[in-house]
Amino acid sequence: MSLLLVTGTAVVVSTSAQAATTLGASAAERGGRFFGTAVAAGKLNDSAYTTILNREFNQVTPENEMKIDATEPNQNQFSYGNADRIVQHARSRGMQVRGHTLAWHSQQPGWMQAMSGTALRNAMLNHVTQVATHFRGQVTWWDVVNEAFADGSSGARRDSNLQRTGNDWIEAAFRAARTADPNAKLCYNDYNIDNWTDAKTQAVYRMVQDFKNRGVPIDCVGLQSHFTGGSNYPSNYRTTLSSFAALGVDVQITELDIRNAPSDAYRNVTNDCLAVARCTGITVWGIRDSDSWRSGENPLLFNGGGGKKAAYDAVLAALNSGAPNPTTPPPTTTPTTPPPGGGSCTASVTPGTVWGDRYNSSVTVSGASNWSVVVAITAPQRVSTTWSGSFSWDSSGSVMTVRSNGSGNTFGFTTMMNGNTGARPRITSCTSVQSISSPR
């Protein structure tokens, strides 16, 4: 009798050990994502603060300590003490660091504010080089350029002393950062680029697209996502994330805080990131409401006493119910959900010959003899030649549907890179069909 009770208890314990209990651990189980926070060096000796930091988060962004006024207070005199303290705290605990930020119109030291023209351009590039070199190997992502676009309907660049050095200042900063730290992921970061239809979002999208087309080094886009009454969580947020990602960059939510911390909005943001394979993590802009730059709005996940708020529970539950590692199937293979009236099959891409301007791919289908496979091509890449299937395209020319034509279970195609050398075709579905519908 007592033996049975002991056995029963053991089973209960092993079952309850399944759901992650912290934000960072749960995010890590969802495709290796991170869940991070902004950190202020001045709070690292507040044990209530560090207890939450060390328990919950696996990524850190220095809130002010890597900004230009902090790291180069006088021209060519660099000061890294507070930033180094945060980096050391984070890295010694296995947390990744986002560097914020190398070039920005705001929080410039007085000497830089007073500069213009070639002297300013050179000072900016020197700053990027020096700071990125100092932190080389310690920073996973750099916000190379922050907030360079104007709000409102213009879609224009923000006017600033840096912008007045010439429109190419942003790409110049990215190139300097790549040279200084070739392994860091280089990001463009901004606010009010959450709503897909906003002119500012579209303008940043076009810049990233242009950078990818011309080979300007850019790896990621950060959406600050400071949501207030005037700038709410938009229902098309997921579209924004996936649209940037489709350009061949990672996306991150980099400074999340939401006025009054409504659970629904926090849950939606989390679910939207989990739904986009290249949304690699979320950073909240502070730990407790009392740590927030907008402390009057109580926008964070912990209250001033360090207690978990309802929004915390909503985020953790959303993370825990997300698809486990990996979030989406590896890009080469897609097992699919059977549509009504049809069955599923599996399609795998095998990379073929690569030339300077184009490459071949072949796709092998298993699990069906009559099938329909949908393949997404990243524009401006375009399919130029096809074989061993029956091919059709949507109006954008980027979504190709291939049906079996009786020549076997493998088809192939050539894709022109058109300047984008990195992107590769993705299978979006494989459907087993009852019979091949006769043409016309």
List of residues contacting ligand XIL (CB under 6 A): 63-64, 146, 224, 255, 293
CB of 255 to ligand XIL, least distance (A): 6
CA–CA distance, 390 with 413 (Å, rounded to integer): 11
Catalytic residue at 255? yes
Residue with smaller CB distance to ligand XIL, 203 or 316: 203
Helix pair 169-180, 117-134: axis angle to 10 deg: 30
CB of 384 to ligand XIL, least distance (A): 43
Query: Can you tell me which residue has the tokens 């995010």?
Result: 27
Residue with smaller CB distance to ligand XIL, 43 or 358: 43
CB of 192 to ligand XIL, least distance (A): 11
> Helix (H, G, I), strand (E, B), or coil: what is residue 251?
strand
CB of 146 to ligand XIL, least distance (A): 5
> Helix (H, G, I), strand (E, B), or coil: what is residue 267?
helix
Closest by CA to 326, choosing from 364, 295, 280, is: 280
Residue of this chain nearest to ligand XIL (CB atom): 293
Residue with smaller CB distance to ligand XIL, 222 or 425: 222
Q: What are residue 86's phi and psi, to 5 degrees?
A: -65, -45
74 within 8 A of 112, measured Cβ to Cβ: no
CB of 276 to ligand XIL, least distance (A): 22
Residue with smaller CB distance to ligand XIL, 29 or 255: 255
344 within 8 A of 438, measured Cβ to Cβ: no
Catalytic residue among 63, 72, 171, 255: 255
Token representation of residue 368: 């069906």
Residue with smaller CB distance to ligand XIL, 64 or 332: 64
Catalytic residue at 63? no
42: left (phi over 0), alpha (psi -120 to 50) or beta: alpha
Catalytic residue among 29, 72, 147, 171: 147
CA–CA distance, 148 with 106 (Å, rounded to integer): 10
- Specify the DSSP element, H or E, that contains 243: helix 237-245
Positions marked active-site: 147, 255
